[in-house]
A and B are shown apart, each in its own frame.
Chain A
Amino acid sequence: MSEKTSGAVSKLQLSTPEISPKTVSKLITLKVKRYDPDAGRYKLSIYRISVTRFDTVLDALLKVVRDQDHTLSVRYSCRMGICGSCAMMINGVPRLACMTNAISLGDVIEIEPLKNFPPVKDLFVDMDQMFRKHRSVKPWLIRRDEEEQFTAKKEYLQKPEEVDAYRLFSTCIKCGACMAACPTVASNPDFLGPMVLAQAYRWSADSRDEGAHIRFDIVDNPNGVFGCHFAGACSAVCPKNSDPALAIQLLRKSILRGKR
Chain B
Amino acid sequence: MEILRYDLVILGSGLAGLRAGIQAALTSKGKIRIAVLSKIHAMRSHSVAAEGGIAGVLYPEVTGDSFDAHAYDTIKGSDFLADQDAVELFVKLAPEELRFLDHLGVPWSRTPDGRIAQRLFGGMSIPRTAFAADKTGFFIMSTLYDNILRFDNVDIYHDHMATSFLMENGVFKGFTVLDLKEGTLKVFLAKAAIIASGGAARIYGFTTVSYAVTGDGAAMAYRAGIPVKDMEFIQFHPTGVVPAGVLITEAARGEGGYLINKDGERFMARYAPQRMEVAPRDIVARAIIREIMEGRGFIHEESGLGYVYLDLRHLGEEKINTRLPFIRELAKKLVNVDPVYEPIPVRPTAHYTMGGIHTDTYGHVMFDAKNYVPNLWAAGEAAAVSIHGANRLGSNSLAECSVYGRLTGEAAAKYALEASSSMLELSSSLEEAVKREEKRIFDELFKTETNAEDPYQIRGELWRTMDTYVYVFRDEKGLMEAGRIIRDLKNKYKRIRVDDRSRKYNMNLREAIELGNMLDVAEIVIVSALARTESRGAHYRLDYPKRDDVNWLKHTLAYYTPEGPRLDYIPVRITRWKPEERKY
Q: A: which residues have CB within 8 A of B? A: 1, 3-24, 37-38, 52-54, 56, 65-67, 70-85, 99, 101, 120-122, 124, 126-128, 131, 134-135, 138-141, 143, 149-150, 152-160, 162-163, 166-167, 170-174, 199, 203, 206, 208-209
Contacts and interface: CB of A to CB of B under 8 A. Distances in A.
Contacts of A8: 475, 477-478
Contacts of B336: 54
Given A8-B478, A38-B502, A73-B506, 11 more contacts: A1-B272, A3-B286, A6-B293, A8-B475, A13-B468, A19-B464, A54-B335, A70-B455, A72-B507, A80-B244, A159-B110
B172 interface: no
Interface stretch (B99-107, B355-363, B439-447): B99-107
B105 A66 contact: no
Nearest to A154: B99
23 contacts: A1-B283, A10-B468, A15-B304, A17-B303, A17-B305, A37-B502, A38-B502, A52-B302, A71-B502, A73-B500, A73-B505, A78-B44, A81-B329, A82-B326, A84-B43, A85-B41, A128-B158, A154-B99, A160-B110, A163-B108, A170-B107, A173-B48, A203-B105
B406 to A, nearest CB: 11
Contacts of B96: 152
Contacts of B499: 70-71
Interface stretch (B60-68, B380-388, B537-545): B537-545
Interface in B147-181: 147, 149-150, 158, 181
B84 to A, nearest CB: 25
B379 to A, nearest CB: 19
B243 A17 contact: yes
Contacts of B111: 160
Contact of A163 (B46, B110, B210, B542): B110
B303 A121 contact: no
B26 interface: yes
B301 interface: yes
Contact of A77 (B46, B246, B498): B46
Most interface-central of B135, B244, B506 (chain A CB within 10 A): B244
B469 A80 contact: no
B115 interface: yes
B306 interface: yes
B287 interface: yes
9 cross-chain pairs, A with B, having the tightest CB-CB distances, nearest first: A157-B114, A16-B205, A9-B478, A141-B105, A152-B99, A17-B303, A71-B500, A70-B499, A83-B44
A141 B103 contact: yes
Contact of A159 (B49, B113, B540): B113
A82 B133 CA distance: 14
B449 to A, nearest CB: 16
Given A14-B306, A16-B467, A155-B102, A140 B301 contact: no
B471 interface: yes
A199 B107 CA distance: 14
Contacts of A199: 146
A128 B304 CA distance: 43
Contacts of A124: 504-505
B417 interface: no
A71 B478 contact: no
Contacts of A72: 507
A160 B112 contact: yes
Contacts of B455: 70
Interface in B13-45: 26, 40-41, 43-45
Given A5-B543, A80-B330, A20 B102 contact: no
A12 B102 CA distance: 45
B474 interface: yes
B150 A138 contact: yes
B115 A157 contact: yes
